[in-house]
């Protein structure tokens, strides 16, 4: 068990497999993004060793992120290794879905249990505008393949004011009437070079709920408001699925946070919206033993911060979202 100084049991690791992506979403990275050389990123064997160490420390839930994790070479083999690691209970992935048409079944057979597919609008023109390069029909092909492969599905939509905060959000929420999926609306968070744009685009949860309810009817609170991971869930009358709101900016959920992040370049990031990181790649490549690595990780976890400081205009500037992992 890995406890921090606030008594939280940190047992959920999000691993960024790469900083690269096959899209250039406007809220995530510049279109001319420069990526790190492959040699500066965690290699497969280094990921395997760190997963073993984290599992021995009590981490049992793992999520693969990016960038876009499906562009990582040997992604199926990485999933298989993590799923077969003693102590690991769940392996999931956050993806834009573009490559799931070919990868969903082999990923499921390797041990992947769920995909969180990022899709901010169902409108083809707007989707292309937000992603700069993407085609929404490719995401739907990936979703069809994920359903056929038996993967659990959640949809993630980052809400951006004046882009997808009205009709698009309503149309996404409407999917839960006929699909047994969780559609999750995520408040945009400020990072790095695109922080000003991101802050201007934040749509608070209360406003978004009112927009959806005005079109689709009342939202019924699920499980008395207990969080499902980071999301507070609601259901439309007669809906097969649920609607989740992840309000990291306006309604932080620090008390229930159990997660840490491992960046593609081997840094342990303790809070998404704080810059503090612990370099794991350097001691790993310098020959540190598993015992020494565990001590470094446990020390970092102990100092995991409580809450962001956006209200004090403290914005994480050392990375953009794609360099951290969602």
Q: What is the pLDDT of residues 58-112, one digit of tens each?
A: 999 999 999 899 999 999 999 999 999 999 999 999 999 999 999 999 999 999 9
Residue 228 has pLDDT above 80, yes or no: yes
- So what's the pLDDT on residue 309? 52
Closest C-alpha to 142, from 180, 111, 105, 170: 105
Model pLDDT for residues 263-301, shown as the tens digit of each residue: 999 999 998 767 789 999 999 999 999 999 999 999 999
Residue 169 has pLDDT above 70, yes or no: yes
Closest C-alpha to 186, from 127, 117, 256: 117
- So what's the pLDDT on residue 274? 75
- Kindly list the domain boundaries of the chain, sorted by start residue: 12-324
d(CA 305, CA 4): 9
pLDDT band at 321 (very low <50, low <70, confident <90, very high): low
Residue 236 has pLDDT above 70, yes or no: yes
- So what's the pLDDT on residue 255? 84
pLDDT band at 247 (very low <50, low <70, confident <90, very high): confident
On average, the pLDDT of the chain sits at 89
d(CA 323, CA 318): 9
With 0-12 / 13-18 / 19 or more C-beta atoms within 10 angstroms meaning exposed / middle / buried, residue 38 is: exposed
Q: Which string of b and e fits 76-91 if b means at least 16 CB within 10 Å?
A: bebbbbbbebeebeeb
- So what's the pLDDT on residue 198? 43
d(CA 274, CA 163): 27
- So what's the pLDDT on residue 188? 76
Model pLDDT for residues 2-30, shown as the tens digit of each residue: 999 999 999 999 999 999 998 887 777 77
Residue 249 has pLDDT above 80, yes or no: no
Per DSSP bridges, beta strands 219-221 and 277-279 are: unpaired
- So what's the pLDDT on residue 314? 45
Q: What is the pTM of this model?
A: 0.90
Average pLDDT for 229-236: 94
Model pLDDT for residues 179-221, shown as the tens digit of each residue: 999 999 998 765 444 444 444 568 889 999 999 999 999 999 9
With 0-12 / 13-18 / 19 or more C-beta atoms within 10 angstroms meaning exposed / middle / buried, residue 73 is: exposed
Residue 241 has pLDDT above 90, yes or no: yes
Number of Cβ within a 10 Å radius of residue 34: 7
Q: Which CATH superfamily is domain 12-324 in?
A: Aldolase class I (3.20.20.70)
Residue 33 has pLDDT above 90, yes or no: no
Residue 131 has pLDDT above 80, yes or no: yes
* Structure tokens that stand for 159 in this block: 């809400």
Closest C-alpha to 90, from 14, 147, 19: 14
d(CA 300, CA 298): 5
């Amino acid at each position: 068990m890995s406890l921090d100084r606030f008594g939280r049991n940190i047992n959920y690791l999000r691993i960024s497999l790469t900083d690269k992506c096959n899209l250039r979403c406007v809220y995530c990275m510049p279109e001319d993004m420069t990526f790190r050389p492959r040699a500066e990123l965690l290699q497969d064997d280094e990921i395997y060793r760190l997963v073993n160490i984290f599992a021995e420390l009590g981490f049992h839930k793992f999520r693969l992120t990016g960038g876009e994790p499906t562009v990582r070479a040997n992604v199926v083999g990485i999933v298989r290794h993590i799923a077969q690691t003693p102590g690991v209970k769940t392996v999931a992935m956050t993806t834009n879905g573009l490559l799931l048409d070919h990868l969903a079944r082999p990923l499921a057979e390797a041990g992947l249990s769920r995909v969180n597919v990022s899709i901010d609008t169902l409108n083809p023109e707007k989707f292309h505008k937000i992603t700069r390069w993407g085609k929404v029909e490719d995401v739907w092909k990936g979703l069809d393949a994920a359903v056929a492969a038996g993967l659990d599905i959640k949809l993630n939509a980052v809400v951006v004011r004046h882009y997808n905060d009205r009709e698009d959000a309503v149309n996404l929420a409407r999917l839960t009437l006929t699909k047994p999926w969780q559609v999750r609306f995520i408040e945009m968070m400020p990072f790095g070079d695109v922080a000003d744009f991101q802050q201007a685009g934040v749509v608070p949860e209360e406003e978004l709920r009112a927009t959806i309810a005005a079109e689709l009817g009342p939202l019924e609170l699920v499980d008395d408001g207990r969080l499902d991971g980071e999301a507070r869930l609601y259901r439309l009358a007669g809906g097969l699925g649920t609607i989740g709101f992840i309000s990291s900016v306006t309604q932080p959920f620090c008390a229930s946070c159990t997660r840490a992040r491992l960046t593609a370049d081997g840094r342990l990031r303790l809070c998404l919206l704080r810059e503090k990181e612990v370099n794991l790649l350097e001691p790993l490549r310098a020959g540190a033993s598993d015992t020494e690595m565990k001590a470094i990780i446990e020390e970092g976890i102990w100092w995991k911060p409580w809450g962001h400081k956006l209200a004090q205009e403290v914005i994480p500037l050392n990375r953009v979202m794609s360099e951290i992992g969602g």
